[in-house]
Structure 1
Amino acid sequence: MKKIGFLSFGHWTASPGSETQSAADVLLQSIDLAVEAERLGVDGAYFRVHHFARQLASPFPLLAAVGAKTKKIEIGTAVIDMRYENPHYMLEDAGAADLISGGRLQLGISRGSPEQVIEGWRYFGYEPAEGETDEEMGRRHATEFFELLRGEGFAQPNPRPMFANPPGLLRLEPYSEGLRERIWWGAASNATAIWAAKLGMNLQSSTLKFDETGEPFHVQQAAQIRAFRSAWKDAGHTRTPRVSVSRSIFPLVDSRDWAYFGRSGEEADKIGFIEANKRAIFGRSYAAEPDVLVEQLREDQAIAEADTLLLTVPNQLGVAYNAHVMEAILTTVAPALGWR
């Protein structure tokens, strides 16, 4: 059995072929898609966060709205760039969204990826400490956020408060019990996956990672997952961690599918560079008739290792088409692979 969710980057553009012409369109359609996904039996609705871009950027209002409109589906991010975040304010937002959803928040965070502007986090008021890189700053923000999720009091109460305080030091409110076990780290390397395991975060592994061995993407990603699980065990954590991978998967079952993805040209991994000098490997997309797709996916070692699969959706094609894709995967692919 495998949990299956969707992952939307929330693109919008005023081009004629886009179903999401504005930011309002993509936000409202994201809610509608989550409702439709829950009706189909999809397990999770996840959203990517990119600043300074015509994409989803402020996750907590959206997550709260999705949580209020649904009953069972997990709601989450993949991922929030922690270089841009105030851990204290984020704790309040995350706690509120989790309580609204009844404890369904699965919060993916990371140090972030290359953004639309140069050092965009500076515009949000954040500066690395002396001798610290922006990557280290993101991890520092993440560690502080993760510690705040313990719910322990740390702030000295005012002796003459406006409202009566409970005894002792105060914590941030609203506090959501259990959210700390539902924090995921988006890791692009084996080392960061191991770091996340030691802290006790779940693992999100995306469609790219640093090319550390020259092997196919899915082989490297599977090795990363095994390294994460080994480090988790060595750290002595008592609960079982969760691991997700993301894939673009399109069963070709009707004329629309063939028109959009019949000649995708992305049947192989790609090599590129991020941040100028870091060699990265980007995983292939899958688009084929269901029986062919099943055999292709059967060979993907990382999907086999993960307990959760996030399907990256082309959100600009609209709610109805994306629901069609998810339904096709649930009915023609997942059962044949033992995911359902």
Structure 2
Amino acid sequence: MKNIGFLSFGHWADHPSYQARTASDTLLQSIDLAVAAEEIGMDGAYFRVHHFARQLASPFPLLSAIGAKTSKIEIGTGVIDMRYENPLYMVEDASAADLISGGRLQLGISRGSPEQVIDGWHYFGYEPDEGETDADMGRKKALKFLDMLKGEGFAQPNPNPMFPNPPGLLRLEPHSEGLRERIWWGAASNATAVWAAENGMYLQSSTLKFDESGKPFHIQQAEQIRLYKEAWEKAGHKRKPRVSVSRSIFALVNDQDRYYFGQQGKASDSFGYIESDKRAIFGKSYAAEPDRLIEELAQDEAIQEADTILLTIPNTLGVDYNVHVLSAILEHVAPGLGWR
């Protein structure tokens, strides 16, 4: 059995073929899609976070709105770039969104990814400490965020406050019990997957990772997941680990599907460079008739290792078509793979 969710990058552009032409379109359609996804039996609605781009950027208002209009579906991010974040303010925002949703937040964070601008976190007022890289800064903020989510008092109260204080040191409010245990780390390398396990975070592994062996993408990703699980067990966490992998999967069940995605199924893994000097491997897309999809996906070792599949969606094609895309996977593919 697998949890099956969708992952939206939340693009918009003033293009005649797009249903999402403005930021407002994308935000409102994201809410509608999450509601519809819950109705058809999806398990999760996840959203990418990119700054300085015509894509979703500030996740907590969106997650709160979705939480208020749904009742069962997991709501998350994949991922928030911690280099841009104030960890304490983020605790307040995340806790509020989690409380509104009734404890359904599954928050994916990371040290960051390639950006639209040079050192974008600089414009948000953040700089690495002397001797640190921006990646170090992102990981340090992540640890601070995790620590503050525990809900322990740390701030000295004012002796003459505006409102009466409880006894002892004060914590951030609101506090959402259990959210600390629902934080995921987006790892592009084996080492950071192990680091995530050691710090009690679940693992998100996307459609790219650093090329660390030259093997096919799904094999490298499966190896990363196994290393993560071994580190989790070694760390002695009482919870079971969770792992999600992202995939572009399209079941071709009508002519419109074949028009949009008929050529993508012929793609293969590709290689490139991120951050100028780091060779990365990018996983292929899957697009085929349902029976062929089942055969191909059954050979994907990383999917077998994961408990959660996040299906990347073409959000610019609108809510109705994306509901069709997700329904086709649930109806025609998932049962054949034992995911349902």
Normalised TM-score (structure 1): 0.99
CA distance in 2, matches of 1:26, 1:266: 30
The amino acid across from 1:46 in the alignment is: Y
CA distance in 2: counterparts of 1:162 and 1:241, whole angstroms? 43
Q: 1:154 to 1:227 in 2, by over 3 A?
A: same
Q: Give the equivalent residue in structure 2 for 1:156.
A: 156
- 2:298 equivalent in structure 1: 298
In the alignment, the residues of structure 1 paired with residue 32 and residue 155 of structure 2 have an alpha-carbon distance, to the nearest angstrom, of: 40
For residue 4 of structure 1, give the secondary structure of its aligned residue in structure 2.
Answer: strand
Of stretches 257-266 and 145-154 in structure 1, the one that deviates more from structure 2 is 257-266
SS in 1 for 2:78: strand
Determine the C-alpha separation between the residues in 2 that align with 1:265 and 1:45: 24
How far residue 200 of structure 1 moved from its aligned partner, in angstroms, is 0.3
Q: Runs (4+) of structure 1 moved beyond 6 Å?
A: none
Gaps of 5+ in 2: none
Identity %: 74
> Which residue is 1:165 aligned to?
165
Give the superposition deviation at 1:241.
1.0
Residue 253 of structure 2: aligned partner = 253
Determine helix, strand or coil for the equivalent of 1:323: helix
Structure 1, unpaired ranges of 5+: none
Name the counterpart of 1:199: 199
Give the Cα–Cα distance (whole angstroms) in 1 for the partners of residues 339 and 121 of structure 2: 40
- 2:305 maps to a residue whose letter is E
Query: Matched residues in 1 for 2:267 and 2:234: separation?
Result: 37
Shift of 1:263: 1.3
Secondary structure, counterpart of 2:264 in structure 1 = coil
Secondary structure (helix, strand or coil) at the match of 1:146 reads helix
Q: CA deviation at 1:267?
A: 2.3
Q: Partners in 1 of 2:284 and 2:87 — Cα distance?
A: 35
Q: SS at 1:310's partner residue? A: strand
Which residue is 2:127 aligned to? 127
In the alignment, which residue of structure 1 is the partner of 2:72?
72
Secondary structure of 2:293's counterpart equals helix
Question: What's 1:183 paired with?
Answer: 183
Q: What SS does the aligned partner of 1:76 have?
A: strand
What is the 5 A alignment of 1:218-233? Answer: 218-233=218-233
Is 2:11–2:56's contact at 8 Å kept on the other side of the alignment? yes
Give the letter aligned to residue 253 of structure 2.
Answer: V
Contact 2:246–2:312, Cα closer than 8 Å, also in 1:
yes
Alpha-carbon separation, structure 2, partners of 1:170 and 1:266: 57
Is the aligned partner of 1:41 residue 2:54?
no
Mapped to 1, the partners of 2:34 and 2:337 lie a distance apart of 24
RMSD: 0.6
Q: Secondary structure at the match of 2:138?
A: helix
CA distance in 2, matches of 1:204, 1:81: 13
Question: What are the superposed Cα offsets for residues 244-301 of structure 1, whole Å, 9 maximum, x if unpaired?
Answer: 0000000000011000001126520000000110000000000000000000000000
User: 2:28 is paired with a residue of what secondary structure?
Assistant: helix
Amino acid at match of 1:174: P
Per-residue deviation, residues 211-247 of structure 1 (Å, max 9, x unmatched): 0000000000000000000000111111101100000
| 1:2-81 correspondence runs (5 A) | 2-81=2-81
Matched length: 340
TM-score relative to the length of structure 2: 0.99
* Distance across 1 between alignment mates of 2:109 and 2:159: 37
Q: How do 1:230-241 and structure 2 match up within 5 A?
A: 230-241=230-241
Aligned to 2:316: 316
User: Could you tell me which amino acid in structure 1 is paired with residue 239 of structure 2?
Assistant: R
Q: CA deviation at 1:99?
A: 0.1
| In structure 2, C-alpha distance between the alignment counterparts of 1:263 and 1:270, rounded to whole Å | 16
- 1:338 matched residue in structure 2: 338
1:325 corresponds to 2:325: yes
Write the deviation string for residues 77-133 of structure 1: whole angstroms up to 9, x where unpaired: 000000000000000000000000000000000011010000000000000000000
